Every structure is written in structure tokens, then in C-alpha cells.
Structure 1
Amino acid sequence: MTLLAGLDIGGTRIGVCLGRKNGAVIASQSFPTPQAQAPSATLSQCVLILRELQERHARGETLHAIGAAVPGPFDPKSGSFGDVPNMPRWHGFDFRTQLTELAGCPVFARNDANASMLAEALWGSAQDVSNAIFLTFSTGFGAGLWLDGRLYEGPRGLAGEIGHLRLSEAGPVGFGKCGSVEAWLSGPGIVQQAELEALCAKQRGEETKLSEPHLRTEFVFEVARLGDVAALRVIQQVAKKLGQTIAILADLFDPELVILGTIGIAHYDLLEAETRRVLHEEALELTARGLRIQPSQLQLREHRAALASAASEVQPT
């Protein structure tokens, strides 16, 4: 069967995998994203890991292509990054050319939202759906659009960059804007909200675990589950903004299905009630009534979004 590789480039971690055109992952490995390292050095590290995986798990097989899921903005035609908000050293980096030269095989790259949506259409919840949207909901926030049975990326690969849309004049900062979707609905944005809520709680004389230093997104959800009132207020606000964002997308595209990535996979049970309430309050009644929202199942399996970028382009052998 055709041997493919996947590179999942994230603002927090980078993953490398070997797999097949049918979505099966043979082996994978990940490491923290080196923020201070040049992108070319990071790609060299990825290719070294890839060669080691190939030697251990697919010795003697020819690697046909590498697929990549990368943070947006990213132009799939030129293979270059735009101004990636969480990875400034990657701004303008010619990703595809560099990786092709290092790996010696074709490279097919898409932004992570589009790659994830494609994986859902190939192997996941959207296999029998004509119109669906994937929301990344991680270090950043973007939308992958599956419209009328095909991936829609726009002429420059910028369709679905909803993280840049401003939901409010004030609020946390993300994607270079106060009150943007990404500011409200990303890991760093949730931490900003939690830090502010901790200050407000202190002024009210209210105890909260959010006052601890070096907050992490996961910790905010953990203490919310334990009943921390301040943390629950943060989660309520996040759920409200998620509902507003999905309502905008629902009214624009009339999808049958919205699939949630990373944070939505781990914590949609805490977000669902308020998200649904706001969706029904703000979207057209018929649109909201017919819309399913669910966490991704595929995202629990390592780096299949990256694999999908190659699997969709390579003919089976």
C-alpha cells in the first residue's frame, strides 16, 4: 500500500507520522514546538524523525508524499505562510519548497482547519455529509469549510479564517485584535480571560484557583469541573462566544454538521448547554434546529489531518 507521511505543525506541538492512503497511522512521534528555532531547522528535525520512523516501521518502502497541516494564514498554492499569529518566526516562510528539498518527495500542505475538515470528509464524521465545518479550537481558531461536497479554500487559501473576525470591541487579544474570535476561543485567549477573572475575584474577596501563577488552559477547565465559581464564569463566557461564532457560520453556510477540534474534544460537555442556547438565540431558527455540533473522533488519532493532505492528492499504488 502507498506509504505517506504527515507533518502536523502546531503552535504548541509538532507531530510526525507515517501512514497509508486509507488513513491508517503506522507510527507517530511528537515534540514541543521550538519557538526560538528557525523554521528550516525545525523541518530538518521533522525529516530526521521521519527517516527514523521509516527505518523502524516501513524499511524498504518508498515514501510517496508528505502531507502537512499547518497554522493559517497559509497559501496552499505558493506553499508559504502568511502572518501566523502564534508563530512569528514562520511569517512568510516558504514551507513547501524547503520541505520538498529536505525530504526529496512531493509535499501537499494546507492550513490545519482545512486539513482537519478534509480528514473528516475522508474518514470521519463528514463522510456522508455535503456541508460541514471543522473548528480547530486550539492554540488558534479557524474554520475548515466543506461545501457542496468539496473543500472550499478560496483563491488564496484564506477562506475560513474566522479567528480574525471581531466579536467585541473589548476583550482578550488574539490574531492581533481585541475581542476577536481567536481571542475568545483559543487556549491563550482562555488563559487571558482566566487571569482577568482572577483579578476581579480578588477584588470581590472571592477565593479562586485561577489566582495561581502560570495558568494553563487545561487547568482552567479542571478547576471549573471542581466547582471553582470564577473558572465557571470563564467557561460560560467561552461557551457564549462559541455559540455566537457557530451562529454566524450557520447563517452564512447552512451546514448540517459542525465538528470541534482540540478543546472541544476534551471539554464540550462543559460548553454544550450554553453554546446551544446562544446558537438558538442568534441563528435563524431553521438553521439552528437542523445543525449537529459534535467533537471530532478523528482528532484523538494522531496526525490524521496532516495525512489527509497527502492522501487526497496521491493515487493509490
Structure 2
Amino acid sequence: MLNNLAGKGSTALRVQNKVTVLNVIKEHNLSTRAEIAAITHITKATISEIVAELIQEGFVVESSLINEETRMGRKGTPLKFNHDCAYTLSIDLGGTKIKLALFNAGLELIDEKVISTFKTKTRHDFMAHFNQTILSFIADLKVDRTKIAAIGIATAGIVNHETGFILEGSPNLPEWEGFNLVDEVHTATGIPVVIENDVRAALIGEICAGSCKNVSSAMLIGIGTGLGSALVIDGKLMRGNRNAAGEIGYMILSREQLNNNWHNKGALETYCSGSGIEQRYASITGNALSCSEIFARIESDHLAQALIEELSDSLAIGVINSITIANPEKIILYGGVCTNSQHFLERTQAIINRHTLTNTSVQLELSEMGSNAPIFGMAVMAMSCAHPTINFLKNIQLK
């Protein structure tokens, strides 16, 4: 396996050279041995030895591609990173649906499946269904199971990515706290497992392939049934002392709110989430409508309009407070409520513009990847854990 590059008798320098050569081949596709030597300043003899090892291990292949560039004088056989040397199974475990996807080492989507989240009363029954779903998905794949290097699971709540524990869970999943999700899935599948909060996974997806490419300080705000955020600051993914960084739903917006008990749903989340809008509309009118139905009434229903304006203003306050602390280059909005962003985004941005300065101003952007962001982010995290010597993210520290 690539996370054990050192062969018998290998020196630290030799291992480092091997890592360097592998990542140059990955980043400069179809490079020859001579070109790799020119880029790395490693001797051609050493390059040839390392390449031979990487080919034998299956991480590099010699390309038979003959194109115009090769015919025009490139000497040597082009080499390419073998995207099929390993795979990861990436899962977005949500309260209403579960998405499973297989990615190769080139982070290309190979296969995917979406199912409704199981309606069970106990975590024991839920996990039995969940593990069987994973095993069935793997059985249907047309790849060598032994090449699945890791399973990555994105889930709502506060998670400890190092131990695999769900510390505080989602109300949409049964008994979803105080247990080790990694151990349970690993026991059922025999495959290493990585977990992360779903909003953090979505931000990593955006950094790798979406709105935040080449950005070292970014924030993603997930506005759906609940409200959460994720931060990368100066190239480091922020988790906090007890993995609770980014829980902006619990921001307090006014002095009067200090007298309330916000344990079940935070103050900002009450005003700035799909469930918060639904609950407030129902408490005033006695009429239970979905968030989408409330948005649809914005032109004809004064209460609907007032609640959405309140969402916009509350979101602006949360963003402005976050900007003063983190000073991100980009802020991405993500989640189901954002499909209705035409009703609040312009107002929110105008408020932010009035209360930020030249060095703190930032433009809100909608997620480019949408619902695919968490599964892509988990593919990156799982592959990075399984093969830490392969560079999947430049200048971003995940641990």
C-alpha cells in the first residue's frame, strides 16, 4: 500500500524521493522519466528505479498514448498516475436520503446510488439496514473489492474524526449520539472507515472541485433543515477544541435572546433555517406548511414575506460576525433553503456590504457542487487517510 512506501532498507531520503516522484506524475500527467528528473532535480538513475517500483506496485502505468506532442520529439515513454490503483466508497448520510458513491484515486465518480433514509426507531435497527446497504452496494460494483481503500461517511452533528465517535447527533437519525460509527461500519465491512461532519465535508468538496479552488481561507454555510458552517483558515480545516467549530446556529442575535433556552435549536437557527421558518409560521398561524410552500407564498402572504426577510437579516448578522473573526476570502451558501436564494440573497449581500470594510468585504456565492459536495469531500478525506502520501489537496491541512 502507498501509505507504506518504505521498502526493505529504504532511507528517509529515498522514501521522500518516491513520494515526490509519484505526486509529480499525478500532477503532470504523461510525463517522461527525463521530464520528471528535470522537475525534481533527482538523478535519472534514481528516477528510473523509483518509477520501476511504482509501476510494479500498480500506482503508475506506462502510457501507450501516441499523440502529436510525442511525435514532435518527446523522448521516453510517458507515465501516468493509475487512477484505478485504489477506490473509496463515499457516503452522505442525511435525514431524508442516503447517497453512496464510488470514486477512484483520480477522484472520478465511478458509480452511485441514492436511497431514502430508513424509518427505524432504534439505532440498532438503523445500523443493521445501513451496513447491509453498504455491503449490497459493494457487491454490485464492478471493481475489485480489495482495492476499496476506505469508506468515508459524512453525517450531521458533532463528530470526532479521530476516534470515530458521534458526540452529538442529528434529530433526524435515531439515537444518533454517544456511539462509535467507525467501529460499527468497519466491523460489518472489514474496510477502514473515516467520518466527518457533513458541512465540513461539503467545504472540502468545494475547495477541491467547486467554488473554492485555490482558496486557503473559506467558509461554507449550510442552510437546510438546520444551520451549520465549516471553516478553512490559512489552509487549515477548523474543528475546534471538541470538534464543535462552526456551530453558528447557536449564535445569539440580541440581548433579549439571552433569557431563552436555545439548547434544542439555536437562536440563529430558529430564524435562519428551513425547520425554524416552518415552526415559526405554524406557531403564529396554526397552519403547518413546508419551507418551500412558505417561500412560494412570499408575494401573497405578509407573514411569509416577514419571515423570509428575517431569515435574510439574521443570515447577514451571522455572516458579518463570522467575517470579523475569520476574514474569509469566500463564503459559500449550501443546502436546500438556498434553492430559494433569489428571495433573500440580494438583501443579505446589501446588508453585509454596508457593514464590512475593504479588507473584510466578501461576496456570498452559491455552491457549485450542490448536493454532490459532501460525497466528493468525503472521497478526498477517505483517500487522503488511506494514502496520505498522495497529494489530493494543495496547501490544505485536513488534520
TM-score bracket relative to the smaller structure: 0.7 to 0.9
2:168 aligned with 1:97:
no
2:314 aligned with 1:241:
yes
> Who is 1:203 aligned against?
none
User: Per the alignment, do residues 146 and 179 of structure 1 end up closer, same or farther by CA in structure 2, a change over 3 Å counting?
Assistant: closer
User: Per the alignment, do residues 181 and 120 of structure 1 end up closer, same or farther by CA in structure 2, a change over 3 Å counting?
Assistant: same
User: Per the alignment, do residues 141 and 175 of structure 1 end up closer, same or farther by CA in structure 2, a change over 3 Å counting?
Assistant: farther
2:306 aligned with 1:219:
no
Query: 1:220: Cα distance to partner?
Result: 1.7
Equivalent position amino acid for 1:150 in 2: K
3-state SS, counterpart of residue 131 of structure 2 = helix
> Who is 1:46 aligned against?
130
| Deviation per residue, 1:46-81 (Å, 9 max, x gap) | 332233333333343432101111112112122111
Query: 1:175: Cα distance to partner?
Result: 6.2
Answer whether contact 1:39 1:93 (CA < 8 A) is retained.
Answer: no
3-state SS, counterpart of residue 301 of structure 1 = helix
Answer whether contact 2:227 2:273 (CA < 8 A) is retained.
Answer: yes
2:384 aligned with 1:312:
yes
Q: Please identify, of 177-186 and 245-254, the stretch whose mean Cα deviation from structure 2 is larger.
A: 177-186
User: Per the alignment, do residues 124 and 178 of structure 1 end up closer, same or farther by CA in structure 2, a change over 3 Å counting?
Assistant: closer
> Who is 2:92 aligned against?
8
3-state SS, counterpart of residue 190 of structure 1 = helix
2:233 to 125, 147, 164: 147
Answer whether contact 2:271 2:277 (CA < 8 A) is retained.
Answer: yes
2:350 aligned with 1:277:
yes
Answer whether contact 2:249 2:266 (CA < 8 A) is retained.
Answer: no
Equivalent position amino acid for 1:142 in 2: G
Equivalent position amino acid for 2:358 in 1: L
> Who is 1:23 aligned against?
107
Count of equivalent residues: 299
2: CA distance, partners of 1:175 / 1:19: 40
1: CA distance, partners of 2:363 / 2:272: 19
2:219 to 106, 128, 133: 133
Answer whether contact 2:338 2:366 (CA < 8 A) is retained.
Answer: yes
1: CA distance, partners of 2:156 / 2:311: 22
Q: Please identify, of 28-37 and 156-165, the stretch whose mean Cα deviation from structure 2 is larger.
A: 28-37
2:364 to 293, 306, 309: 293
2: CA distance, partners of 1:174 / 1:161: 16
3-state SS, counterpart of residue 90 of structure 1 = coil
Equivalent position amino acid for 1:77 in 2: E
1: CA distance, partners of 2:267 / 2:196: 23
| Deviation per residue, 1:245-298 (Å, 9 max, x gap) | 1111111100010111113541222111221122234x4323553x12111111
> Who is 1:72 aligned against?
157
> Who is 1:83 aligned against?
168
2:324 aligned with 1:251:
yes
2: CA distance, partners of 1:264 / 1:287: 29
TM-score (normalised: structure 2)? 0.68
1: CA distance, partners of 2:363 / 2:127: 38
TM-score (normalised: structure 1)? 0.84
3-state SS, counterpart of residue 179 of structure 2 = coil
User: Per the alignment, do residues 292 and 69 of structure 1 end up closer, same or farther by CA in structure 2, a change over 3 Å counting?
Assistant: same
User: Per the alignment, do residues 40 and 18 of structure 1 end up closer, same or farther by CA in structure 2, a change over 3 Å counting?
Assistant: farther
2: CA distance, partners of 1:124 / 1:235: 27
2: CA distance, partners of 1:56 / 1:88: 28
1: CA distance, partners of 2:261 / 2:93: 19
Query: 1:307: Cα distance to partner?
Result: 2.5
Answer whether contact 2:122 2:174 (CA < 8 A) is retained.
Answer: no
| Structure 1: 5+ residue stretches without partners | 200-210
3-state SS, counterpart of residue 313 of structure 1 = helix
3-state SS, counterpart of residue 110 of structure 1 = strand
> Who is 1:114 aligned against?
200
Equivalent position amino acid for 1:96 in 2: V
| Deviation per residue, 1:130-178 (Å, 9 max, x gap) | 110011212221111111122121243221122222224459x996256
Equivalent position amino acid for 2:94 in 1: G
2: CA distance, partners of 1:128 / 1:149: 10
Answer whether contact 2:250 2:265 (CA < 8 A) is retained.
Answer: no
Answer whether contact 1:174 1:189 (CA < 8 A) is retained.
Answer: no
> Who is 1:55 aligned against?
139
Identity of aligned residues (%): 23
Higher relative CO (Cα under 8 Å, sequence separation at least 6) belongs to: 1
| Structure 2: 5+ residue stretches without partners | 1-83, 391-399
